[in-house]
Structure 1
Amino acid sequence: MTPPTITLMMLAGGLVGLGLALLAIWLTPAQPDLVDAVKRLSDAPTRGPDGSARTVSGKERLGAWAMRTLPIGLWVRTPTRELALLRIPLAQFYGDKLIYAALGFVIPIGLATFLSLLGLALPFPIPVLACLALAVVMFFLPNYNAVDDAKKARIEFNRALGAYVDLVALERTNGSGVRQAMETAASIGDSWVFTRLAEELNRSRWSGLPPWDALHTLATELGLPDLDDFADIMRLSGEEGTATYTTLRARSAAMRTAMLNDELTEANAIGERMSIPGSLLGVIFMAILLTPSLLRMIPG
């Protein structure tokens, strides 16, 4: 068989296998899971990052099937904290990984087919290795996206947390109790950060937990050390009755100073990177000026 025929056969086989897999997933009856059913009744899995209601997508169904069928070691590492911060369900994350891997496997086959139609047939091992390599790379692409998005979300959370700390301090000076000050301050803002804090505080009220314990658990779950420090301050105020206005204002000022220093560091790094193209242009310009003189010095 010629290479174009082999490539077409690979493409046809991959498409047929993908179709059969999707058909099997669609026709296979779902196995009820008690833990999954209880989670579906809670607020977190049915809400997006901004707290709005959402519906279960096809990616989640694919990911749920993969979680039941495929071995756990296949996923290598799952960014649990990042997914919890972004409120991305685990099933949706696994579905994204499988879809990205399938695209990475199909793209080289399509390119090889296109090149074979143009008369540029590639040796058989090259498309196979390209399919495997690109599938592996794109399989881990959702991990990178989750870590990068979570990094940006943590920066946004810390910025909103600084304003929240100031609001709590103002509520405390007005004579509000610890829980009342925290809940009132959380109800003022309309961003996803304030919504998340309000949800945790409301959940702690109904469960009977102190609000600082709820925020401490949230900080540990999402990897937010500034929120953990704020929870410790409110715990001292609630359990020992210490004054918190000065401490909270000092904490918010320290948070803003730290964020400003991080932004200045990032700006300096960007400025240094911007100087590289200018230096390269200078080198190219000097090379253009010196090249004619050097060519005259070379004997013909």
Structure 2
Amino acid sequence: MWLALAVAGGATAGLGLYLLVTAFVPATPALGPALRRLHPTLAVDHPAAEHRAAPPVRVTGDWYARLSLPATDLAILDRTPQGHVLSVTLSALMGLALPVLATVFALVAGVTLPVSVPLVATLLFALGAGALAHYDMRARARQARKEFVRALCTYATLTAHQVRSGHGAVEAMERSASICDGWPYTRLRTSLLTAQLQMRPPWDELKALADRIGVVELTGFADIMRSAGNDGAQVYQTLRAQAASLRDQIRVAALEAAKTRTSKLDIPSTMMILILLVLVGYPLMTSLFSQN
């Protein structure tokens, strides 16, 4: 029995060391998506190629071909479907290990359990850990999308000032993207550089980025800059209005989140008041009943 406990402990420790080492090893860059971004299918000569160049939601061609993965969430987190499936699988394996270790400790302690109990617990823990990893990715994608919208609010304001200073639409977008730091501006600079290398309009590339990561607000910004680049429209006031609208949306979302969190505090506050009433009233009630 002690041998089984030692083997299980050694396996767990080895898995932990392996995960620790792999966390610090630099990941191999995904050259395929980068090359596709730099050299997409020429949609100008072949209009039907736009549909082929769009990233599909359903992944095909590999062992995960039958999985329907959220392509926009993976794109905004800059993760591949293979990496996400691997993360979910590792989480499920970690969930499998916990009931096994608990069963081993129970056997060492002399507690006998039916075979169905550890089996059901193992399946439930594995499914729960995998689902938790998946929904954590979805939550991180929603948070990243909100962060991108906040960065876009600043980017629209900077672009408006660059346009007012006399710069052209393309130059204003490039100068504004080079001012700030952060991953949203890195994605914007990458899209603008891709458009420059392919000699394509940058607003088309920004619209493709908006469709890829699921940020609708970036599509509106690209349409505004398209009108400035093609028609020579004065877009200073339009960009300022879009930035103000984005700030209002962010403010309203923050207020709604604050109200939701405040409402969640009502339940523990009510429970605390009830507990205090019981603690104060119990001695009084016992003394009254004891006198009677």
TM-score clears 0.5: yes
Aligned match of 2:65 in 69, 72, 76? 72
The two structures have a TM-score, normalised by structure 2, of: 0.77
Shift in CA distance, 40/211, structure 1 to aligned 2, threshold 3 Å: closer
Taking the TM superposition and a 5 Å limit, the aligned residue runs for 1:168-247 are 168-247=159-238
- Tell me whether 1:158 sits opposite 2:152 in the alignment: no
Instruction: State whether residues 79 and 146 of structure 1, in contact with CA within 8 Å, keep that contact through their aligned partners in structure 2.
Output: no
Residue 120 of structure 1 deviates from its aligned partner by 1.5
- Indicate the larger mover: 225-234 or 97-106: 97-106
- 1:124 aligned partner: 115
Give, as a single letter, the amino acid of the residue that structure 2 aligns with 1:159.
Answer: R
- 1:272 aligned partner: 263
Residue 202 of structure 1 deviates from its aligned partner by 0.9
Residue 273 of structure 1 deviates from its aligned partner by 2.1
- Tell me whether 1:39 sits opposite 2:8 in the alignment: no
Instruction: State whether residues 168 and 182 of structure 1, in contact with CA within 8 Å, keep that contact through their aligned partners in structure 2.
Output: yes
- 1:32 aligned partner: none
Aligned residues: 251
- 1:259 aligned partner: 250
- Secondary structure of 2:218 counterpart: helix
The runs of 5 or more residues in structure 1 that have no matched partner are 20-35, 45-66
- 2:126 aligned partner: 135
RMSD: 3.0
In 1, distance between residues paired with 2:97 and 2:76? 32
Give the fraction of aligned pairs with identical amino acids, expressed as a percent.
30
Residue 140 of structure 1 deviates from its aligned partner by 2.2
Residue 204 of structure 1 deviates from its aligned partner by 0.9
* Residues 9-34 of structure 1 deviation map (CA, whole Å, 9 limit, x = unaligned): 9x98xx7xxx9xxxxxxxxxxxxxxx
The two structures have a TM-score, normalised by structure 1, of: 0.75
- 2:50 aligned partner: none
Give, as a single letter, the amino acid of the residue that structure 2 aligns with 1:181.
Answer: A
Shift in CA distance, 41/279, structure 1 to aligned 2, threshold 3 Å: closer
- Tell me whether 1:102 sits opposite 2:93 in the alignment: yes
- 2:72 aligned partner: 81
Shift in CA distance, 43/298, structure 1 to aligned 2, threshold 3 Å: farther
Give, as a single letter, the amino acid of the residue that structure 1 aligns with 2:282.
Answer: T
